[in-house]
Amino acid sequence: MPETSNKSWQCPHCRLPLRKQQQQWLCAQNHSFDCARQGYVNLLPSHKKHSKQPGDNAEMVQARSRFLDAGFYLPLRQQLCTISKQYLTDAKGAWLDAGCGEGWYTSAIAQSIAQLTAFAFDISKPAINACCKRNSSINDTGFVSTDMNNTAMDSTVRASSTALDSKSTDDELVSNGSVEWAVASVADIPLLENSQTMILSIFSRIDWPEFARVLQDNGIVISVSPGSDHLIELRQAIYNDVRPYQVDKTLNELPDYIEPIELQRCHFEIKLKSPSEIHDLLAMTPHYWNISPQQREQLSERMHLTTRVDFRIQIFRHKPSFPTSGIWKNLSNKGNVSK
């Protein structure tokens, strides 16, 4: 990618385009942001942080990386690659992974739609460090492995996807499956208006006004959230009273400018065969922080666990001919975004 042609990152201070020059991103107002040696840029101003170290800590990121690299969630990643290719076969421009975590999904999808420039951010600096490390190893080998390790291959994987209620730039941007990484927040996306053909949101918060601001007309959002039976056996091992997951109201109460076009399911079963695998799965969920040390210790004594995995994959479309970012923000501040 040419260092000075890609202007899709946006200055978080003045909202002007950023241009990459050597190891810095610069805007016309002379705001500059150094590229970290790992390969990312920090576009989250300190005054916009709600804590000193927001997002997942290093322990959570490492646990999730170990679990995902073992291949337990490979059916979901494969399904997301298929969906992305289906919707973006002839698309040009760029796409965004908003809340990308350690980049396990991002890197694979970036290679499956390599004609598009990929942007990805997370509010967690340890997560983005892990992204850069992963991306570096992919660049060295030239591909993303889709093989599961021996543990995951021994798992019982019964993946199915059912489509429900299905309906059917910028030429300077070029890509070879690489990704531009940043530390940033979903509440203030550092990308230009109408610059993205797709936004991916996996177990991450959705800010509809911000998503609409950066999406092109008819751009799509792919959202992944827990289905009703997600990790139900894990939850039964922790809690006495286990209830099905409810659909997030953000996905039900849509603003007028967002239209649902498809719902798919991805559900299968995984077998965890060691306390360390069980720990890694628990550590990448909110349950790890919601249970007592005694509950955590009881779970750590288990030598194996079989649990269902249940994902809802929803695809939304940004309706064309709606107001620009200033009006989005005004609507959001007045609380009139949702129906």
Phi, psi for residue 149 in degrees, rounded to 5: -75, 180
Q: Name the strand (E) or helix (H) holding 333.
A: helix 325-334
What pLDDT was estimated at residue 50? 64
The 3-state DSSP class for residue 103 equals coil
Check whether 158 has a pLDDT greater than 60: no
**How does the average pLDDT of the chain come out, rounded?**
83
pLDDT digits (tens, 9 = 90+) for 87-119: 998 888 999 999 999 999 999 999 999 999 999
320 contacts: CB under 8 Å, gap ≥ 6: 217, 218
Least confident interval from 17-26, 138-147, 287-296, 299-308: 138-147
Bridge partners of residue 265, in order along the sequence: 312
What pLDDT was estimated at residue 288? 87
Domains in the chain, start-ordered, CATH in brackets?
40-226+242-264+312-334 (3.40.50.150)
* Conformation bin of residue 308: beta by default, left when phi > 0, alpha when psi is -120 to 50: beta
- Each as own residue / partner, the long-range contacts of residues 2-7 (CB below 8 Å, 24 or more positions apart, any chain) are 2/172, 2/174, 5/172, 5/173, 6/117, 6/172, 6/173, 6/180, 7/192
pLDDT-derived band of residue 6, with 50, 70 and 90 as boundaries?
very low
What pLDDT was estimated at residue 296? 86
Check whether 56 has a pLDDT greater than 50: yes
Check whether 330 has a pLDDT greater than 70: no
CA 86 – CA 311 distance, rounded (Å): 19
What pLDDT was estimated at residue 254? 93
What pLDDT was estimated at residue 176? 55
238 in Cβ contact with 299 (< 8 Å): yes
pLDDT digits (tens, 9 = 90+) for 260-306: 999 999 999 999 999 999 999 999 988 888 888 888 888 888 999 99
Can you give the pTM of this predicted structure? 0.83
